Structure 1
Amino acid sequence: MSRLDTRLESEGAEFLVLGQLLIHRIPAYKTYTNMPGYDLVATNPERNVAVRIQVKSRWGTGAKDFPIQNFDCEFVVAVFLNRGSKDGKKEVADPDYYVLPVSIVSALPRTANWKKVSMRNVVDLDQYREAWHLISDFLNTSGKAAGEAAALASS
């Protein structure tokens, strides 16, 4: 089976995350295409603090892993789009969002060839499902300390 071109869906995932940030009252914007290390920036203008967010998306329903090589951000938002399967056997469902401090993702084991991490290796994964508050907490407290506290809480 040929490889599926998911560039449009990947770009859409970035906009989905941007929309989620905005409806959760987190000011954010999309960076220029192919900015190394991050795709979105969330800000707290009153505190003059910003957080870089890398969006990783997977097209297929039931996907649980994604490739990542660059950790030059504070958060990774994994978006599982759940668009079915190429063979049509899996159903389309709503997207799943996981808001992960980069320290959690960078500590996960990665495959040798594609540098994939598996969400199965994240301890207490459900605590990160739609955890937009981690980003707002980061922006509203001392920034880096909030991200480290979130990482310690999951250990």
Structure 2
Amino acid sequence: MLGQLKRIFGNSEPLPEGLLQVREPLDLAIASLLVELTRSDFSESPAEIEAVRHILGRRFAISETAANDLIARATQRADRAVSLHEFTHRLNKELPESDKLAIVEMLWQVSHADGRIDKHEEHLIQRVAGLLHVSDRDRIRLKLKTIVGD
């Protein structure tokens, strides 16, 4: 047993990706949340994928090719993720409230891209908003802004 503990705690190898991966770009974390949302209703609609591409291009001022690359990397990252906390931890620590609100708004926009908001999508947005410490009031306000418009 002592040998196992030494192997676990005495190992100087790099930490695996995940919660402690502090070098992971914030744009990848945001893109991964958007990708997770497209899959939350168990069907990736082309409209939602296109919305992710458009939102990432606009938000990060990148080309369509760069947005596609970011989506591919985000998909791989989301496939390896154990929880949403892996993406929201750094975002919550490093971003101001206005950026957190923008992330929640992006999630609503992707969710509504196919003309409806699935209950699984809504639940995921509620969880992400909670992890980012966005109030229920702001979350609902952003939902209505997305559905009804300004």
TM-score, length of structure 1 as denominator length: 0.29
With CA pairs under 8 Å and 6+ residues apart, which has the higher RCO, 1 or 2? 2
TM-score, length of structure 2 as denominator length: 0.30
Larger radius of gyration: 2
